[in-house]
Chains A and B, each alone.
Chain A
Amino acid sequence: MSAAAIHDDAAMAQASSGAVVLQATGVTMRFGGLTAVNNVNLTVSEGEIVGLIGPNGAGKTTFFNCLTGMYKPTEGQVTFQGTVLPPKPRAVVQAGMARTFQNIRLFANMTALENVMVGRYCRTSAMALTSILRGPKYRHEEEATRERAKQLLDFVGLSNTAEHLARNLPYGDQRRLEIARALATDPKLILLDEPTAGMNPKETEQAKELIFRIRDLGLAVVVIEHDMRFIFSLCDRVLCLVRGETLVEGSPVEVQRDPRVIEAYIGTPDEDEVDDEAAKEEHS
């Protein structure tokens, strides 16, 4: 079965599951002479969990950065709910797409609650004068922000640590806090960059359960992960990137069985090349 055919199958599969939220077409990212992401297409629909896998340096995080406006893709465009997204992180968040980071990027010296409240920034409006005058409207908004942040901490299971500094939280909690912070922006779609990296099996199981609950809220989820068992038991659809290009896209079962995926992960004659790219990606 060719990659194109699989893609078509997948497109048919998602037609039933809801409206298309995100559509990335022909996304290409070059750094100088190096093509980190080459002509990648991705369509995500409401309530869908899509996995993004691939060996180190395959361009997964670069692709994420292109989607979220951290990078301006060299070619291709990202459409979110029918409108083309400008390559600006803030506009992307405003439109309803939030993300977490591979290497956790919390605001370390803020409390967990404050971290989540920062996430509410783009959904609140108090400006300088209102903040100084502190009218009833301001206090109401501030209260609502706090309440919502607490709810979200509850949702990810961190209600007891609201007043703890983010830097003092255990690793797994930091990952969950990052998710809560992303959820605070009221996204339609959430992009998780290796949400279980460094977690033990129990925490991984909790993370899986959390992602299902996020999906049940009606959000679409895109997950980058290396843990195959995690990905295949979680996702509705999996996209495998190798050297910046889509190798396979399809249901977990299809991808799991595809010999090219196995080859990409285990034995490859041109492993050096892959390592090279990994190094370059890190540099950018």
Chain B
Amino acid sequence: MSTQLRRSPDPKASVDSAAPSMQWWLVLAGTVLLIAGSFLSWSFTPAILGNVTITGLPAPLQIFTIVIGVLGLFLLLLRMGRFHHISTLLDSARGLRALGVTATAYLVLVVLVIALQAPGLANADPGVFVCLVGAGLMVAGSLRMPSDPTVDPISVHLPSWAEILVIVALMALVLFGAAYALGQEDGTVFSLFLLFLSGVVVALQRAGLFGWIGVIAARNRRVITLGAFVVAFLFPLTQDGSDANMSIATQVLIFATTALGLNIVVGLAGLLDLGYIAFLGAGAYVSAMMSHSAFANIGWKPPFLVVVLIAATVSSVLGLIIGSPTLRVSGDYLAIVTLAFGEIFRLTVNNLDGNNGPDLTNGPNGIPGVPELEFGSFKFGDTHEIFGITLGRFANYYFLLLVVAALIITIFTRLNNSRIGRGWIAIREDEKAAEAMGVNVFGLKLFAFAGGAFLAGMAGSIKAHQDVSVTPDQYIFLESAFLLAAIVLGGMGTVAGVLVGATVLKLLPEKLRFVADYRLLTFGLLLVLMMRFRPEGLVPSGRRALEFHEDDERLAAKVEESHIEKVTPTGGRT
């Protein structure tokens, strides 16, 4: 029954190869107009939208439309039957449609911004309308364009150097995009960039590119991992000492690291932990209490590496305590138990100020003045110069956290693909059957709790130093909910998903200051919508997706195919 699943990759006769249809010409006209219009001036007012007034020299916002146009041209050529190597790769009609819609929305927004900020529609130049017409033509043409039924990304095989090249290009794009997005001070431009980016991503996804990327990513896992790490490592160098963005990036990393730890509990072991932030807090508090802060109440001041171990151990002991009810309760009840534990942690550190219980945590004021880290003569508080590029305080912490993140990712993936990981999946699938097959259910659940807590404690001990202070209100329930949201948004049980989720959740509110007040509102709505429409997250693990869509046969077939693909990478099965 496996054999029918794969299609033979015979070179197809392209849909429009014989004689380009009416729609094809329409879309072509649209893309040409779009590109041409982007070279014209869009507005009289140089003060807005990063100056789109100069004809012949496109501003970034105009380059975005050019990119859309070029992508459109590429898809059109593909449709003509060019690039026969990859002709089964993309469904050009769906891609073009999404591109057209994106361009239209983007340009309508630009016109709106001009009308509101310039202010007045009179400030709009013809260029923007030329583009708008082009975008409209793209939509009109692609609407009736027949979809391509023979798309089958798995059957496309490029030479491996080409695949790696694609990955490297993608990584470079990610780095470039991240640096550009972070560099935007103007909220409007940032939002437009986001619209452009998500539009292009959706278009490529529609066209089926990501299915293929998923396949080559699976084939070149090492390259991907290495590449991602290099990109992350290079990122501070693009910031040239600017602390503003590095501070955000460091926060993202701490958040992502903690979320990865939580993903072991939630994504791998399938246990809902609503009090996870308490472990981060425990690590941070232990670290702060043993630091040289004037408010630290523990006299012993061991070196930081020892502190990290102690903090992580304390956290994991708490994890064991919190996890121990898993022997008796499961599901929703467990979630509530963890929630109650989290609240107890917060209330306790809030109370232990000497008046209520012993003076350990300095009560609601927390422990301020936690000193900067020092490794030998390397002081994390100072700025350093490498290759003439200044690296500030946050960059130092960023590199340290990157190492921790790499460590946690390694632990996560290795555990996932091991005897223990199989045990976790079995427990998620059918706890009773797992027990009956000899899987140590209780032990594995407890280990997930303790292990996850250990990693969070580690992250927390660094966070205390990076934040310079520790206060109870950093460790409230909402933070646990945020961590959970990062996992849900990104995709349960995947590393990439959590990284994406954490980045989105931390970065957006920082950059979109004008919607800062609506941050939580959107966050709540996001959770509800995700559960309703895409419970497996943006970057799901195939298996998790299946668990959420029990009756989706097509998905099951796809996941299965990817398993077979992994075993026979050359597609040798007939």
Q: Do A and B interact directly, with beta carbons closer than 8 Å?
A: yes
Binding site for B on A (CB under 8 A): 68, 70, 89-90, 93-94, 98-99, 101, 105-111, 114, 117-124, 126-128, 131-132, 134, 138, 141-142, 145, 160-165, 167-168, 170, 181-182, 185
- Determine which residue in B1, B433, B451, B543 has the highest number of CB atoms from chain A within 10 A of its CB, and name it: B433
CA distance A114 to B557 in the complex (A): 17
Q: What are 30 inter-chain pairs, A to B, with CB distance below 8 A? A: A89-B438, A90-B439, A93-B437, A101-B433, A101-B436, A107-B426, A109-B429, A109-B547, A110-B425, A110-B543, A111-B560, A118-B437, A119-B437, A121-B422, A121-B423, A123-B438, A124-B419, A126-B420, A131-B420, A132-B410, A134-B414, A141-B419, A161-B2, A162-B567, A164-B560, A164-B564, A165-B546, A168-B556, A168-B557, A170-B1
**How near does chain A come to B235, taking the closest CB pair, in angstroms?**
27
Query: Is B434 an interface residue when CB atoms closer than 8 A count as contact?
Result: yes
Query: Is B440 an interface residue when CB atoms closer than 8 A count as contact?
Result: yes
Interface residues of B in 158-190 (CB under 8 A from A): none
Residues of chain B with a CB closer than 8 A to A93's CB: 436-438
* Beta-carbon contact of A165 and B436 below 8 Å: no
Nearest to B425 among chain A residues (CB) is A110
* Beta-carbon contact of B546 and A109 below 8 Å: yes
Query: Is B82 an interface residue when CB atoms closer than 8 A count as contact?
Result: no
- Contact status of A131 and B418, CB under 8 A, knowing A118-B423, A164-B2: yes
- Contact status of A165 and B556, CB under 8 A, knowing A105-B433, A107-B429, A121-B422: yes
Query: Is B193 an interface residue when CB atoms closer than 8 A count as contact?
Result: no
Nearest to A181 among chain B residues (CB) is B437
Query: Is B85 an interface residue when CB atoms closer than 8 A count as contact?
Result: no
- Contact status of A118 and B418, CB under 8 A, knowing A105-B433, A109-B546: no
Query: Is B404 an interface residue when CB atoms closer than 8 A count as contact?
Result: no
* Beta-carbon contact of A99 and B567 below 8 Å: no
Residues of chain B with a CB closer than 8 A to A145's CB: 419
* Beta-carbon contact of A163 and B543 below 8 Å: no
CA distance A101 to B436 in the complex (A): 10
* Beta-carbon contact of A127 and B560 below 8 Å: no
CA distance A126 to B420 in the complex (A): 8
Counting from the closest, the 8 A-B pairs by CB-CB distance are A122-B438, A93-B438, A131-B418, A107-B429, A105-B433, A163-B563, A109-B546, A89-B435
Query: Is B527 an interface residue when CB atoms closer than 8 A count as contact?
Result: no
CA distance A161 to B573 in the complex (A): 12
* Beta-carbon contact of A118 and B422 below 8 Å: yes
Give 1 or 0 for each of B105-141: 1 = CB within 8 Å of chain A CB.
0000000000000000000000000000000000000
Residues of chain A with a CB closer than 8 A to B2's CB: 160-161, 163-164
- Contact status of A119 and B438, CB under 8 A, knowing A70-B432, A107-B426: yes
- Contact status of A132 and B411, CB under 8 A, knowing A165-B556, A185-B438: yes
* Beta-carbon contact of B435 and A107 below 8 Å: no
Interface residues of B in 433-483 (CB under 8 A from A): 433-441, 447, 451
* Beta-carbon contact of B415 and A128 below 8 Å: yes
* Beta-carbon contact of B560 and A163 below 8 Å: yes
CA distance A260 to B49 in the complex (A): 92
Interface residues of B in 521-567 (CB under 8 A from A): 543, 546-547, 556-557, 559-560, 563-564, 566-567
Residues of chain B with a CB closer than 8 A to A121's CB: 419, 422-423, 426, 437-440
Binding site for A on B (CB under 8 A): 1-2, 410-411, 414-415, 418-423, 425-426, 429-430, 432-441, 447, 451, 543, 546-547, 556-557, 559-560, 563-564, 566-567
Q: Which of A107, A138, A160 contacts B430 (CB 8 A)?
A: A107
- Determine which residue in A120, A126, A164 has the highest number of CB atoms from chain B within 10 A of its CB, and name it: A164
* Beta-carbon contact of A107 and B415 below 8 Å: no
Contacts A109-B546, A131-B421, A181-B437 given; 15 further ones with Cβ under 8 A?
A: A90-B438, A93-B438, A105-B436, A107-B429, A109-B543, A110-B426, A118-B434, A122-B437, A162-B567, A163-B564, A163-B567, A164-B1, A164-B563, A165-B556, A165-B560
CA distance A106 to B423 in the complex (A): 13
- Contact status of A98 and B437, CB under 8 A, knowing A118-B423, A128-B451, A142-B418: yes
CA distance A120 to B420 in the complex (A): 11
**How near does chain B come to A202, taking the closest CB pair, in angstroms?**
18
**How near does chain A come to B477, taking the closest CB pair, in angstroms?**
29
CA distance A117 to B425 in the complex (A): 12
* Beta-carbon contact of A70 and B436 below 8 Å: yes
CA distance A108 to B421 in the complex (A): 16
Nearest to B417 among chain A residues (CB) is A131
* Beta-carbon contact of A114 and B422 below 8 Å: yes
CA distance A98 to B567 in the complex (A): 29
* Beta-carbon contact of B414 and A132 below 8 Å: yes
Q: Which of B414, B425, B438, B546 contacts A131 (CB 8 A)?
A: B414
Residues of chain B with a CB closer than 8 A to A162's CB: 567
**How near does chain A come to B228, taking the closest CB pair, in angstroms?**
20
* Beta-carbon contact of B563 and A90 below 8 Å: no
CA distance A165 to B543 in the complex (A): 10
CA distance A108 to B556 in the complex (A): 10
Q: Which of A90, A108, A124 contacts B429 (CB 8 A)?
A: A108
CA distance A248 to B566 in the complex (A): 53
Nearest to B566 among chain A residues (CB) is A163
Residues of chain B with a CB closer than 8 A to A105's CB: 430, 432-433, 436
**How near does chain A come to B53, taking the closest CB pair, in angstroms?**
56
Residues of chain B with a CB closer than 8 A to A90's CB: 435, 438-441
- Determine which residue in B410, B425, B566 has the highest number of CB atoms from chain A within 10 A of its CB, and name it: B425
Residues of chain A with a CB closer than 8 A to B432's CB: 70, 105
Residues of chain A with a CB closer than 8 A to B411's CB: 132
CA distance A173 to B434 in the complex (A): 19
CA distance A145 to B423 in the complex (A): 14
Residues of chain B with a CB closer than 8 A to A98's CB: 437-438
Q: Which of A127, A160, A167, A182 contacts B556 (CB 8 A)?
A: A167
- Contact status of A126 and B437, CB under 8 A, knowing A105-B430, A107-B426, A118-B426: no
CA distance A162 to B410 in the complex (A): 27
**How near does chain B come to A153, taking the closest CB pair, in angstroms?**
13
* Beta-carbon contact of A168 and B414 below 8 Å: no
Residues of chain A with a CB closer than 8 A to B435's CB: 89-90
CA distance A160 to B573 in the complex (A): 11
Residues of chain B with a CB closer than 8 A to A110's CB: 422, 425-426, 429, 543
**How near does chain B come to A130, taking the closest CB pair, in angstroms?**
8
Nearest to B440 among chain A residues (CB) is A90
Residues of chain A with a CB closer than 8 A to B423's CB: 118, 121
Nearest to B559 among chain A residues (CB) is A165
Q: Which of A68, A70, A131 contacts B419 (CB 8 A)?
A: A131
